[in-house]
Amino acid sequence: MPLVIALTGGIGSGKSTAAAILGELGAAIIDTDAIAHRLTAPGQPGARAIGEQFGAGYLRGDGALDRDRMRQLVFSDPAAKKKLEAILHPMIRAEVNAAVRAAHAPYIVIVVPLLIETGAYRDLAQRILVIDCSEQQQMARVIQRNGFTPEAAQAIMASQVSRAERLGHAHDVVRNETGLTALRADVVALHGRYLELAKQGSSPG
């Protein structure tokens, strides 16, 4: 079994950017959000199952998941959230398992935004990497990137575990406070450590 890293962080922390840098350096990147998007694209199994369970009103005209409408529902209805997770999580896990088996790289990074909240994929990973930034940075990035209102951004952040709790689970932390150049330098350094751990076939703390 190759070295597997679970990468997580709060919304707006820079998870995708850090993962992209690791991918450029040669890691195999498995992004659970990207898998979820594929599964809920027009005509795909996740979208079809959601339409059957929730009704066609939660699909767009092209048959893809209406992400905005579903987001509003699951934020207000815990039972709906559990139903959605019961549909998608097994499908996503099956694709992750297949991707891990097929990977040919020094090590594998599974990007899991809600790693701490759900506990998913902890059984596959030897280490947890947290991409971290201040809550003020998170807010600013989410508002700029997603066009959310401050209230919407705050609601998403409140639904995730606290920064302190997330950091408490981390084996490795990359702080993303000062821009892409600093982030890249820190990720490159961490990549070197992961290569060494992969060679050793172990993951000491």
The tally of domains found in the chain comes to: 2
Verify that 81 and 128 share a domain, yes or no. no
pLDDT band at 158 (very low <50, low <70, confident <90, very high): confident
pTM recorded for the entire structure: 0.90
Query: Looking at the structure, do residues 110 and 189 belong to the same domain, yes or no?
Result: yes
CA atoms within 13 A on the CB side of 68: 5
Do both 138 and 197 map to the same domain? yes
Query: Domain containing 194 — which CATH number?
Result: 3.40.50.300
Reported as a single tens digit per residue, the pLDDT across 117-138 is 888 898 999 999 999 999 888 8
CA distance 161 to 150: 18
201 shares a domain with 119 = yes
pLDDT in tens, 66-92: 998 998 898 889 999 999 999 999 999
Do 109 and 165 belong to one domain? yes
Looking at the structure, do residues 155 and 190 belong to the same domain, yes or no?
Answer: yes
Q: How far is CA 14 from the centre of its chain?
A: 10
CA atoms within 13 A on the CB side of 70: 21
pLDDT, residue 142, reads 84
Read off the tokens for 69. 């409408």
Predicted confidence band of residue 204 (pLDDT cuts 50, 70, 90): very low
The three-point CA angle 57-148-67 to 5° equals 25
For residues 9 and 170, the answer to whether their CB atoms sit within 8 Å is no
Q: What is the dihedral of CA 187, 184, 14, 141, to 10 degrees?
A: 160
Of 157 and 33, which is predicted with more confidence?
A: 33
From CA 106, how far away is CA 29, in angstroms rounded?
Answer: 11
pLDDT of residue 151: 85
Tell me what the mean pLDDT of segment 34-38 comes to.
96
> Rounded distance, CA 8 to CA 125, Å?
12
Residues 100 and 61 in one domain: yes
Domain encompassing residue 52: 37-104
32 in a domain, yes or no?
no
